[in-house]
Amino acid sequence: MLINGKLMEKPEKIEIFNPSNNNIIDTIPLGNRQDTKKAIKAANIALKTMKNLPSRQISEKLYEISEDIKKNSKIFAKLITLDCGKPIKESKEEVKRSIQTIILSAEESKRIYGETIPLDACFGGENLVGFTSKVPLGVIGAITPFNYPLNLVIHKIMPAIAAKNTVVLKPSIQAPLAALKLAEIMNIYLDPGVINVITGFGNEVGDEIVKNNDVAKISFTGSVNTGLNISKNAGMKKLTLELGGNDPLIVLDDANIDEAVDAALRGSYLYSGQVCIGVKRIILDKRISNEFKDKFVNATVKLKVGDPINLDTDIGPLINEKAAITIEKKVNHALKDGAELLCGGKREGAYYYPTVLENVNTNMEIVQEETFGPVAPLINVNGFEEAIEVANNTKYGLQASIFTNDINKALKATKLLEAGSIIINKQSTYRADNMPFGGCKMSGLGKEGIKYAIEDMTKTKLVIFNPI
């Protein structure tokens, strides 16, 4: 763990398993409430110097950190794969994106502006001068999930630092190794207390970060249930909640089917479906559903399931065997309720084979709840209106995608679909690290994407000057 610039061990340990073979690969310190309080205190003290650092210097430090991570790219990719079972080719992509996210933060740190306010537009303001500046918010509490253990951590701590805040991070204990390696590197470049990392359980370390009055904001990514719990406990803190999703991919009868099949394949099975913006429901116009189904199932059975450390592996294990059993139960439940298995439906330890289901109805749990696994339910509909109705029939609203060559329907869909982003002719599983990202409904509150995260990690301070 990292508290006030000191890397520290603890006698109490948590064992970290490689999900592909269940071997113990490392142990990490089991942090507690006291450690978390110390970290928050250190972050508060560090704010005093951080606030006064020129943004040029902060930007330079972030560039240096990005260079160091680049030098260690191979180590980071391997750590991600061993720790969370992500296929190595996807881990390499995550590391590349993480470096880019830091560079975006380094650039954005020099563009934090206020504005002038035309006070003379209101009675009594005739001679006044008004302007705002953006000032740091304070200590940012960052709490992250297991599935993008490097880039999602970076999406919180780098904008926070770019805006001259300090951070206490609690990474997921299901996949903490990349965050701990990152902390080691950041500690070389930043003053003590600017970044602190505590590993431990959500209901102790996470709970302390959420409730502690010296934390100004919680930036959380994770499940809806944890997000709801955090919003109940956070009191007067700013909140960003990036929560679960149930993204639809609609294919209309005028769409390019091959493109749609390719997109559905990438969207449904990326990191074994353990992606918040994974395609979770495929909604097909009846007129093209047979063609789509045949091509999609043919492509699904060709995916290579295997050890995620091998470069040609498409599908690795889920994060642990318990997660795979949950998926197995959900699929079996749907089959009992009348769904039909077109391929997959098999579990071996933490591995679950890519699975396509049809005859799925919109009330089934597999369609209503977020399924965090490689399962693609096909839902047939009669035309555009029904497709939109089915797509919106969920409590989630993260991203949504539609395949069509009809510009009118595409534009109409952008108005009607209830989601944070609407993507036309590409799977919802797309995120550029500078775009405003975040859902509506139960998928969360607020936006990330460097510029947008920074906006939420600063306070607007107004100055009124009466020249006499």
Residues 6 or more apart in contact with residue 402 via CB below 8 angstroms: 249, 250, 251, 252, 387, 409, 410, 413, 417, 422, 423, 424, 425
Burial level of 194, CB count in 10 A (0-12/13-18/19+)? Answer: buried
Q: Which is nearer to ligand NAD, 247 or 358 (CB)?
A: 247
Of the candidate residues 69, 197, 270, 276, the single one contacting ligand NAD (CB under 6 A): 276
Of the candidate residues 62, 65, 140, 230, the single one contacting ligand NAD (CB under 6 A): 230
Q: Which is nearer to ligand NAD, 210 or 264 (CB)?
A: 210
Number of neighbouring beta carbons within 10 Å of residue 254: 14
CB-based contact 106:59 (threshold 8 Å): yes
242 classed as catalytic: yes
Nearest residue to 211 (alpha-carbon basis) of 197, 224, 229: 229
- Separation of alpha carbons 88 and 77, rounded Å: 7
In angstroms and rounded to an integer, the radius of gyration of the C-alpha atoms of the chain is: 23
Catalytic pick from 90, 94, 208, 242?
A: 242
Answer yes or no whether residue 223 interacts with ligand NAD by CB under 6 A: yes
Of the candidate residues 221, 268, 380, 458, the single one contacting ligand NAD (CB under 6 A): 221
Q: Which is nearer to ligand NAD, 136 or 438 (CB)?
A: 438
| One-letter identity of residue 355 | T
276 classed as catalytic: yes
Answer yes or no whether residue 36 interacts with ligand NAD by CB under 6 A: no
Of the candidate residues 146, 269, 296, 353, the single one contacting ligand NAD (CB under 6 A): 146
- Separation of alpha carbons 221 and 244, rounded Å: 9
CA 420-424-426 angle, 5° bins: 95
Please report how the helices 177-189 and 151-162 are oriented relative to each other, as an axis angle in degrees rounded to 10.
30
Site for ligand NAD in 398-427 (CB under 6 A): 398
Q: And the tokens for 265?
A: 């394949």
Answer yes or no whether residue 452 interacts with ligand NAD by CB under 6 A: no
Q: Which is nearer to ligand NAD, 204 or 314 (CB)?
A: 204
Q: Which is nearer to ligand NAD, 215 or 260 (CB)?
A: 215
Taking CB under 6 A as the binding criterion, the range among 4-12, 97-105, 137-145, 297-305 that sits at the site for ligand NAD is 137-145
- The distance of closest approach from Cβ of residue 221 to ligand NAD in the complex, given in angstroms and rounded to an integer, is 5
Answer yes or no whether residue 143 interacts with ligand NAD by CB under 6 A: yes
Of the candidate residues 85, 145, 354, 373, the single one contacting ligand NAD (CB under 6 A): 145
Please report how the helices 151-162 and 88-108 are oriented relative to each other, as an axis angle in degrees rounded to 10.
10
Taking CB under 6 A as the binding criterion, the range among 79-87, 142-150, 298-306, 376-384 that sits at the site for ligand NAD is 142-150
Residue recorded with tokens 């009330």: 363
Number of residues in contact with ligand NAD under rule CB under 6 A: 28
Answer yes or no whether residue 202 interacts with ligand NAD by CB under 6 A: yes
Answer yes or no whether residue 446 interacts with ligand NAD by CB under 6 A: no
DSSP classification of residue 304: P
Burial level of 193, CB count in 10 A (0-12/13-18/19+)? Answer: buried
Of the candidate residues 83, 90, 207, 433, the single one contacting ligand NAD (CB under 6 A): 207
Answer yes or no whether residue 432 interacts with ligand NAD by CB under 6 A: no
Nearest residue to 449 (alpha-carbon basis) of 11, 155, 43: 155
What residue ranges bind ligand NAD (CB under 6 A)? 143-147, 152, 170, 172, 202-203, 206-207, 210, 221-223, 226, 229-230, 242-245, 276, 370, 372, 398, 444
**Which of the residues are catalytic?**
242, 276
